[in-house]
Amino acid sequence: MHLFHCPDLLGASVELPEEEAHHATAVLRLAVGTRIGLLDGAGTKAAGEIESASKKGCTVRILERVVLPAERSARIHLAVAPTKQMDRYEWFVEKAVEIGVDRITPLITDRTERGKLRIDRLQRVAISAMKQSQRAWLPRIDELTTVKHLLQEDLAPQRLFGWCEGEHRSLMERYTPSIDTVVLIGPEGDFTPEEAATFRNTGFHAVSIGAARLRTETAALAVCTWISLAQQR
């Protein structure tokens, strides 16, 4: 059964978002009456039947709805500096969604080179990864955010940042699975000592992520994997 993303699954019948409607009607050419699956990205799965399909759009009659329990006991928020190559960041988003993450913030740091990031593309990558892994949860993906702005937020209580300089306890020692967590991952060249000092002043602890030097997207996914799997132990 084909799966589609539809943020609003309330009501007796729903309208697919433009891109999903186009995929259903123009690409897959699904006829009226076809049964499809729907995911709202916020924990609800539904089964529906195509009611109308035209160039104007695609409406689906809801046959049943299932609200799923949260997958994890605590939230995972990763703030990750953009990579030089966009495809590495897209890859990270795809894998993080498969493994499990609640929020991704592309982070502008002192040593961040890339000033732009196609958030719409990241959203699409996240949606297709959610469908592929048959998840009903879609993480929030923020616009590019400066360290300054991120730290002004009311962030999760367990605050960690990956840092290669100096000796730190490892993520694996530090991380407590039952507490909402935010982890900061720096760019190539890592965070500056000034940034590290700012993080520490706002309750963040530096952690190491294994012995080897990891690329930004590798470190981010390793953190995501450890944190997500540690909760499902």
Q: Which stretch binds a second copy (CB under 8 A): 35-43, 49-57, 149-157, 220-228?
A: 220-228
CA angle 98, 103, 107 (to 5 degrees): 115
The C-alpha atoms of residue 155 and residue 85 are separated, in whole angstroms, by 28
- Counting residues that bind a second copy (by CB under 8 A) gives 31
Of residues 197 through 216, those in contact with a second copy by CB under 8 A are 209-215
CB of 212 to a second copy, least distance (A): 5
The C-alpha atoms of residue 94 and residue 87 are separated, in whole angstroms, by 10
The CA dihedral of 144, 146, 149, 150, to the nearest 10 degrees, is: 80
* 91 contributes a contact to a second copy by CB under 8 A: yes
At position 161, the amino acid (one-letter code) is: F
Of residues 123 through 182, those in contact with a second copy by CB under 8 A are 132-135, 170-173
Using the minimum distance from each CB to a second copy, give the nearer residue, 54 or 133: 133
CA angle 134, 137, 139 (to 5 degrees): 125
Phi then psi dihedrals of residue 134, to 5 deg: 55, 40
Q: What is the 3-state secondary structure (H, E, C) of 75-118?
A: CEEEEECCCCCHHHHHHHHHHHHHHCCCEEEEEECCCCCCCCCC
CB of 148 to a second copy, least distance (A): 30
Of residues 37 through 76, those in contact with a second copy by CB under 8 A are 71
CB of 51 to a second copy, least distance (A): 29
Using the minimum distance from each CB to a second copy, give the nearer residue, 109 or 228: 228
> Of residues 100, 106, 139, 187, which one binds a second copy by CB under 8 A?
100
Enumerate residues 6+ apart whose C-beta is below 8 A from 60.
4, 6, 13, 14, 15, 16, 36, 38, 48, 49, 50, 51
CB of 208 to a second copy, least distance (A): 8
Q: Which stretch binds a second copy (CB under 8 A): 37-45, 90-98, 108-116, 156-164?
A: 90-98
* 14 contributes a contact to a second copy by CB under 8 A: no
Which two structure tokens, joined as six digits, stand for 153? 């937020």
Residues that bind a second copy (CB under 8 A): 71, 91, 95, 98-100, 132-135, 170-173, 209-215, 218, 221-222, 225-226, 228-230, 232-233
